[in-house]
Each structure stands twice: as structure tokens, then as C-alpha cells.
Amino acid sequence: MRFPYLKGKNVLLGVSSGVAIYKAIDLVSKLRQTDVNIKIIMTENANIWISDQLFSAVGNCEVYKQTFAVKDGWIPHTELSAWADLFIIAPATANIIAKIANGIADDLLSSTAVAFSKSSKLIVPTMNFRMYENPVNQRNLTQLKNDGWFVLEPEEGHLADGEFGKGRYPDNQKILEYCEYLVTKKDYLNKKVLISAGPTIEKIDPVRYITNKSSGKMGYELSREFAARGAQVTLVSGPTHLNPPSLLKEFVSVESAKDMEYAMISRSSDNNIIIMTAAVSDFRVKNYSEQKIKKDQIKTLELEKNPDILKKLSSNKKEGQIIVGFAAETHDAKENAKKKLSEKGLDMIILNDVSKSGIGFESDENEVTIFSIKEEQYVEKNFKRDIAVIICDYIHNNFF
């Protein structure tokens, strides 16, 4: 997964003690892969669990532990707090949460946190569920939120002590999505965006179905991009192997074209932007069988047309709405895309030539052409997340 807005940022990671500390090693590795500049602060107790040398090796970075390691006028807590564009504390124990919430600065991590004055600060509580739910801890977390910290809620599940409850360290991909949100421009703030993604499936019988090769990656990356830039995003997705973006307003899982039609049409009037990236099956089986059809009984399949969801969305278009389609073509690509743009009354259509190898369906990369009524813009081969950035920029520059 790519995080273009983190690239080149100065990221300060604070690590406090606790069993979840081993997951912070993976976080450091993933941060390094995003091409950020990393520096790490460890508490003394954290250093008991895992060596600072391991963090330094994985992050290829400096690790700081001592408040009074002043050298040539370089004061750790003031210099580090001024250097960082983004400050993450993960994992965060009840102890470090209490210190920061109450302005206690008695070690390097708490001193740096008190000195950090920017809004891009994220804290990830992890602990036993009874500690997490304790009124004192909840009061401290509320205070942190009031002081401008973004608190990423822990997950529910089996804990290190064998108990079950809320207190687990979340997936590091989720942490990175929230990190990116904190440093990204919010030019879509208060905008509502409805996006479809993935394939649809049309059942033949309980074990067979008709579908296509869409992976859903383009729609998911567009959802992630809009959400990072402040939009309230609803993603309606056919079956994929992808994890939904963490910042969605709503995730709706569907199977058939009829399911997707209902999910999209019923939500359409409430959104400023509607984007159909889904590869909707053109046909469905006319006579679905409740029992598995034996292979010697299958001679022909009678099909009937599925609804044209994009055309219905366009015909119901509200004033000021932007409706965007995608066209997956194998021949006469530009002509077919322009025809679809005109016939369906769209504001934009994005052409994806799926006849080219290495792009489009199932790939992490794509090469597209954006068509509007006035112009066309070619976007050379790139990662789908980076193409999502270009598409969002295009919509904002041309319609808002």
C-alpha cells in the first residue's frame, strides 16, 4: 500500500512499554518503506522489552532515550519536537497517556509530547481492557482529544494476558492511513462522495456464478484518497480480497448488480460526487437454480440484461452533483469512452484500456485517460494510488 503524502515527512515515533511493543518494529519498517525521515524516542521501560539497537537497525535511524543528553546546545525534547512534522506514540500505555494528559514531563517522551505544538499528533493506546475502560484512563484520553491529539481506538480481541476485550494494538496499515490523514490537505472537507468498486457476481446455482476480473483496487484507492483529503466517503463494493480503507463513513458489501443498484441509487441524492469504478456484470442468469445443476444438465444459460446503474444515477442527478464513470475497453477505446460520456450524461469518464498487459484489472498499476465535455488528459502508467491523486486533483480543479 502506498502513502504518497507521507513521503519526505519528518516522523517522530514515541514507543512506551508493553507487550504490543513488538508490533512497533513492524510500524517502523513500514514507515521506512514510505520514504519518511524517522527518529524514535523510547522510554526506559520500553528499552527493557526491546533493544534500542533493533529499532535503530530496522528504521535506519537515531533512537533517543535520555532527557538530559544535551550536546553542543542541542536539547533533545525541544529539538525533536520542533523537527517533527508528525508525532506518533505507539504503543501508548496508560502511564504515558496519563502523563501527557496532565502535563507531566518527567522523561524524554513525555517532555517531547508536552513541547510538541503541531496538530499532527497521533496516539495509539494498547493495554488490558480493564485498564483501558477505567474511568481515569478514559478521562485522560478525552483530555488528549481536547488538547488536539488524534486517539486511534484499540481493537477488540484476545489480549496478551489471555483475556478478551478492547485493548489490542491495531493493524499498522490502519495507523499509517490515519497518519496520512493528519498531514494531508483537506480540500474535500464536508464533501460527500459515493464510490462503487470491484466486480459483481451473478449466481447460476448455489456453487456457480458469472463474474469478471475486476480487483476493486482503483475504487478502493479513490476512496482512500478522498477520505484522506477530508471527504465523507461511502464505498459500495462487490466481492474483493481487499481490506476496506479505515477512514470510510460507510462500507457497503454487495454481490449482484441488483444489489449494487439499490445500494447506489438509495444513497445517491445525499452525495456531492458519485464515481462508478465497479465492473458491473452486463447480464444475469434468467432462471437461477436453487440446487446445483449437474454438468450433464447444463446445455444453455439464458441471460437477461442487468440495470444500467450509471445511466440511472445520471438521470437522477441533483443540481451541483458530479457524476464520474469508468470505461474498461479493449478496442476503439477513445471512441467508446466518448460515446459513453455523451450518452449517459456524465461529467467525466476515465478510460482504462484493459487490452494492455500489466495494467488495469488485478494490477497495482494503471494507465488512463480522463475525458470531460471540454477536454481529455492522458495519465501515464503509475500506481493506482497515485492515479487516484491525479483524478481527485482533476475533479477539484475543474468542478469546485
Helix (H, G, I), strand (E, B) or coil at 370: strand
199 shares its domain with 318 = yes
pLDDT value, residue 54 = 97
387 shares its domain with 345 = yes
122 shares its domain with 224 = no
CATH code for position 143: 3.40.50.1950
46 shares its domain with 146 = yes
CA 89, CA 13: separation in Å to the nearest integer? 6
70-81 mean pLDDT: 91
pLDDT value, residue 291 = 85
140 shares its domain with 220 = no
Residue 1 included in any domain? no
Catalytic residues: 212
357 shares its domain with 270 = yes
pLDDT value, residue 178 = 96
Q: How confident is the model at residue 360 (pLDDT cuts 50, 70, 90)?
A: low
pLDDT tens across 105-128, in order?
A: 999 999 999 999 999 999 999 999
How many helices and strands (H and E) does the chain possess? 14, 20
Q: Which domain range does residue 169 map to? A: 10-183
Helix (H, G, I), strand (E, B) or coil at 175: helix
Q: How far is residue 305 from each of residues 60, 287, 346, measured CA to CA in Å?
A: 57, 13, 21
Q: What percent of the chain has pLDDT over 90?
A: 80
CA 339, CA 337: separation in Å to the nearest integer? 5
pLDDT value, residue 329 = 81
Rounded (to 5) percent helix, strand, coil in the chain:
35, 25, 40
Which of 183, 206, 238 is the C-terminal boundary of a domain? 183
Nearest alpha-carbon partner for 225 in 390, 351, 352? 390
Helix (H, G, I), strand (E, B) or coil at 12: strand
